[in-house]
Amino acid sequence: MNGQFAAIGFERVGYSGTAKLNAVVGDTVAAAHLPRFTPHAIRKTLALFGDDICATLEERKAWSMNLGHEHLTTMANNYIPVSRERQGELIRKLSGHS
């Protein structure tokens, strides 16, 4: 392996639904004695993490693309919630009136 990543035990096969992926992820986290969760929960966690670490719009776009989204708005609209209250806090902070 020479210190490189290698796919072991996975096939590059397309699936018609999410059942197989849910089963693989569920079984894997159960084997690690973690609570069961779905691939969608992993994606949401990664989207929120990306929002925390990305400093520019370009970085956010690249992160979103890495999650398989064609458009940045997919990540923003579906995975990064902003309540009206939080919107107000953020806008006040940007205007220097926090």
Summarised one tens digit per residue, pLDDT across range 37-51 is 888 888 899 999 999
> Coil, strand, or helix at residue 11?
coil
Please report which confidence band the pLDDT of residue 62 belongs to, taking 50, 70 and 90 as the band edges: very high
Handedness of CA 70, 72, 75, 43 (dihedral sign): positive
The predicted model scores a pTM of: 0.63
Find the mean pLDDT for residues 61-88: 91
Please report which confidence band the pLDDT of residue 93 belongs to, taking 50, 70 and 90 as the band edges: very high
In whole angstroms, give the CA distance from residue 92 to residue 69: 30
In whole angstroms, give the CA distance from residue 46 to residue 92: 27
The per-type count for the chain, helices as H runs and strands as E runs, is 5, 0
